[in-house]
Amino acid sequence: MKLSARIAVPTAGFVLAGLAGLTATGCAPQTSDNSAKKDEKSGTLRVWLFREVSNEPKQKVVDRAVDAFRARHQDADVEIEYIPVETRAQKIKAAFNDPKSAPDLIEYGNTDTAGYVKDGGLADVTADFEAWAEAKDTDPAAKQSVTVGGKVYGAPLFVGVRALYYRTDVFKDLGLRPPTSQAELVTTAKKIRKAKPAMYGLAVGGAYTYGALPFIWANGGELAEESGGTYTSAIASPAAQKGIKAYTSLFGPDNCPAAKCAEMGGNDTVTAFASGRAGMAIGGDFSHAAVEAGKVKGKYAVVPLPGVRAGEIAPAFAGGNNIGVLKSSSHRTLAVGLMKQLTGKKTQEELFDAMGFLPTYTDVRETAAKKQPFVEPFIKTLAAGAKAAPASPGWAQIDSSLVLPTMFQEVVSGRKDVAAASGDAAKKMNDAFGAAR
Amino acid sequence: MNATARRGSGWTPWLYLAPALVVLAGLLVYPLYQLGLISFLEYTQAQVSGGEPTTFKGLGNYATLFGDPQFWQVLLATVVFAAACVLATLSLGCALAVLLTRIRAVPRLALMMAALGAWATPAITGSTVWVFLFDPDFGPVNKLLGLGDHSWTYGRYSAFALVLLEVVWCSFPFVMVTVYAGIRAIPAEVLEAASLDGASRWRIWRSVMAPMLRPILVVVTIQSVIWDFKIFTQIYVMTNGGGIAGQNLVLNVYAYQKAFASSQYSLGSAIGVVMLLILLSVTLVHLRLLRRQGEEL
CA quadruple A311, A317, A322, A328: dihedral positive or negative?
Answer: positive
Residue B248's CB: how many other CB atoms inside 10 A? Answer: 25
- How far lies B211's CA from each of B92, B144, B172, B180, B186, in Å? 18, 42, 20, 15, 11
Size of interface A-B (CB pairs under 8 A): 116
Cα–Cα distance, A430 to A235 (Å, whole number): 10
Q: Measured between CB atoms, which of A97, A401, A409 is closest to B261? A: A401
Q: Measured between CB atoms, which of A260, A409, A410 is closest to B136? A: A260
- Chain B CB contacts of A29 under 8 Å are 34, 37-38, 41, 43, 47-48, 54
Q: What is the pLDDT, as a whole number, of residue A16?
A: 39
Q: What is the pLDDT, as a whole number, of residue A22?
A: 39
Res. B7 pLDDT band, cuts 50 70 90: low
Q: Do B150 and A259 touch (CB under 8 A)?
A: yes
Q: Is B36 part of any domain?
A: no
Q: Is B245 on the interface with A (CB under 8 A)?
A: yes
- Give tens-digit pLDDT for B85-130: 999 999 999 999 999 988 999 999 999 999 999 999 999 999 999 9
Give the E-state strand segments of A52-136 in sequence order. Answer: 76-84, 105-109
Distance from CA of A2 to the nearest CA of B (A): 13
**Average pLDDT, integer, range B129-144:** 88
Q: What is the pLDDT, as a whole number, of residue B165?
A: 94
Number of domains within chain B: 1
Q: What is the pLDDT, as a whole number, of residue B8?
A: 56
Q: What does pLDDT average to over chain B?
A: 88
- Chain B CB contacts of A35 under 8 Å are 50
Q: What is the pLDDT, as a whole number, of residue A5?
A: 41
Q: Measured between CB atoms, which of A29, A400, A413 is closest to B38? A: A29
Does residue A221 contact residue A247 with C-beta atoms inside 8 Å? no
The complex scores an ipTM of 0.75
- 3-state secondary structure at position B98: helix
What is the mean pLDDT of each successive set of 10 residues along chain A, which is 437 residues long? 41 40 52 78 91 85 94 91 84 87 92 88 93 91 88 93 95 94 95 94 94 95 89 95 96 93 89 93 88 90 94 92 93 94 94 88 89 88 87 84 92 93 94 76
Does residue B252 contact residue B275 with C-beta atoms inside 8 Å? yes
Select the residue from A101, A119, A267, A409 to test the B interface by mutation, using most B Cβ atoms within 10 A. A119
- 3-state secondary structure at position B139: coil
Give first-to-last CA distance, chain A, whole Å: 51
Going by the DSSP 8-state scheme, the letter that residue B56 receives in this structure is E
Q: Is B274 part of any domain?
A: yes
Closest Cα in chain A to B158? A259
Does residue A252 contact residue A258 with C-beta atoms inside 8 Å? yes
Q: What is the pLDDT, as a whole number, of residue A158?
A: 93
Does residue A303 contact residue A240 with C-beta atoms inside 8 Å? no
Cα–Cα distance, A10 to A3 (Å, whole number): 12
Q: Exposed, middle or buried by CB within 10 Å (0-12, 13-18, 19+), for B182?
A: buried
Q: Which residues contact A119 (CB under 8 A, 6 or more apart)?
A: A93, A96, A393, B45, B46, B48, B49, B51
Q: Do A30 and B48 touch (CB under 8 A)?
A: yes
Q: Is B200 part of any domain?
A: yes
Q: Is the pLDDT of residue B240 over 50?
A: yes
Cα–Cα distance, B124 to B238 (Å, whole number): 9
Strand order in the sheet with A300-303: A200-203, A278-284, A162-167, A300-303
What is the crossing angle of helices A418-436 and A238-248, to 10°? 120
Q: Is the pLDDT of residue B72 over 50?
A: yes
Which domains are seen in chain A, by residue range?
Answer: 43-159+319-383 (3.40.190.10), 162-317+392-436 (3.40.190.10)
Q: Is B193 part of any domain?
A: yes
Give the E-state strand segments of A362-419 in sequence order. Answer: none
Q: Do B54 and A29 touch (CB under 8 A)?
A: yes
Distance from CA of A434 to the nearest CA of B (A): 13
Give the E-state strand segments of A261-416 in sequence order. Answer: 278-284, 300-303, 319-325
Q: What is the pLDDT, as a whole number, of residue A4?
A: 42
Task: Tell me which residues of chain B, numbers 45 to 84, contact chain A at a CB-CB cutoff of 8 Å.
Answer: 45-54
Q: What is the pLDDT, as a whole number, of residue B296?
A: 53
pTM over 0.90: no
Task: Tell me which residues of chain B, numbers 250 to 269, contact chain A at a CB-CB cutoff of 8 Å.
Answer: 257-258, 261-264
Q: Is B148 part of any domain?
A: yes
Segment holding A51, helix H or strand E: strand A43-51
Q: Judging by DSSP bridges, how do beta strands A155-160 and A224-227 pair with one another?
A: unpaired
Cα–Cα distance, A401 to A295 (Å, whole number): 34
In 3D, which of A110, A109, A115 has the Cα closest to residue A83? A109
- Pick A356 or B39 by higher pLDDT: B39
Q: Is the pLDDT of residue B177 over 80?
A: yes
Q: Is the pLDDT of residue B295 over 80?
A: no
Q: Is B12 part of any domain?
A: no
Q: Is B29 on the interface with A (CB under 8 A)?
A: yes
Q: Is B108 part of any domain?
A: yes
In 3D, which of A219, A264, A265, A259 has the Cα closest to residue A422? A219
- How far lies B92's CA from each of A437, B88, B172, in Å? 53, 6, 7
Going by the DSSP 8-state scheme, the letter that residue B104 receives in this structure is -
What CATH number does residue B209 fall under? 1.10.3720.10
Q: Is B5 part of any domain?
A: no
Q: What is the pLDDT, as a whole number, of residue B6?
A: 52
Closest Cα in chain A to B34? A29
Q: Do A35 and B50 touch (CB under 8 A)?
A: yes
Range of the domain at B234: 70-292
Residue B84's CB: how many other CB atoms inside 10 A? Answer: 16
